[in-house]
Amino acid sequence: MDIAIATSAELRDLAEDDRGLLTAFAARGLDARPVVWNDPAASWRSARAVVIRSTWDSHLHAAAFRAWAETVETISVLHNPARLVAWNLHKGYLRELADQGIAITPTQWFARGSVPNLERVLRETGWSQLVVKPAISAGATGTHVVDHDNAAALQPVVDALSSENDLMLQPYLSTFEVQGERSYIYIDGRLSHAVRRPPTLTSARRGFEEPQAIEMPDPREVAIADTVAAALPEGWLYARVDVATDDDGLVRVQEVELIEPSLFLGLAPGATERLADAIIARLQR
């Protein structure tokens, strides 16, 4: 085959948003197929390029996924490259962005086994609520919203979480309940489109139900997302920069997704084709 599109066992036919890539490649005369990343029978050597897309379980098998990416890159062309997979798996990359002057949500970092005392953090920071989550996570897995009322009850849960994970603690942004996040999607170095996404934390009141295309992105947010894209390690094919507004009205970077994010291709006319063409152009080079 020409293109192997890496996916998970739960999404053998790809996430709905990614399936259009198969049609786009076929229209361009290329054979593209979904392949489960940890299927022992998969033959990655037979693909001219491997594109990571619907591997939505990568955070659950981080070490194995990182090793898989390194192996695939020795026998095929991988997008995004293995070194970017390793860089992006652990959210410690946010520290690097902050060191470059990029505004991220204030974060306290705790190494595995270094248990944060939730009540103390709330008291010392002055945060009315905080979010605690593993530094390797996705889809709000292991994420908890803590306040003064539930801190004592959640302390044993966080203790257990800390025994297996590096943790990050951030203030809960109340604006998130209404505004959600804004995602800026880049393809081959250029901003392709932007999407507003609903809150994903279970405690949040959903201000809207489904992701929505942003027809006229806020220039302030575009400038920040552009700065992040320029600061990323070289070699990426696609990237998603997530931003949110803090309670003081400042736009802050929440995450950068380089591994398997939803790119909301179906919400932007031509986005699927742009991604397919970018992959083909790299194959030709």
Q: State pLDDT tens for residues 112-167.
A: 999 889 999 999 999 999 999 999 987 677 889 999 999 999 999 999 999 999 99
Q: What is the DSSP letter of 170?
A: E
Query: Does residue 191 surpass a pLDDT of 70?
Result: yes
What mean pLDDT comes out for the span 209-234? Answer: 93
Asked whether the beta carbons of 268 and 215 are under 8 A apart, the reply is no
pLDDT band at 209 (very low <50, low <70, confident <90, very high): low
User: Between these two residues, 140 and 239, which has the higher pLDDT value?
Assistant: 239
Q: How far is CA 39 from CA 6, 9, 10, 61, 192, in A?
A: 10, 8, 12, 13, 32
**pLDDT at residue 142, as a whole number:** 81
The answer to whether 254 touches 242, Cβ cutoff 8 Å, is yes
Look at residue 64 and give its three-state secondary structure.
Answer: helix
Per-residue pLDDT at 202 exceeds 90: no
Residue 200 has a pLDDT of 65
Confidence at 201, pLDDT banded by 50, 70, 90: low
Closest residue by Cα to residue 189 from 137, 145, 226: 226
Poorest-pLDDT segment among 59-68, 73-82, 205-214, 276-285: 205-214
Q: Using the predicted structure, report yes or no on whether residue 176 has a pLDDT greater than 90.
A: no
**The pLDDT value given to residue 210:** 80
Per residue in 26-48, pLDDT (tens digit) is 999 999 999 999 999 999 999 99
The whole-number pLDDT of residue 198 equals 79
Sorted by where each starts, the structural domains of the chain and their CATH numbers stand as: 3-89 (3.40.50.20), 108-171 (3.30.1490.20), 175-264 (3.30.470.20)
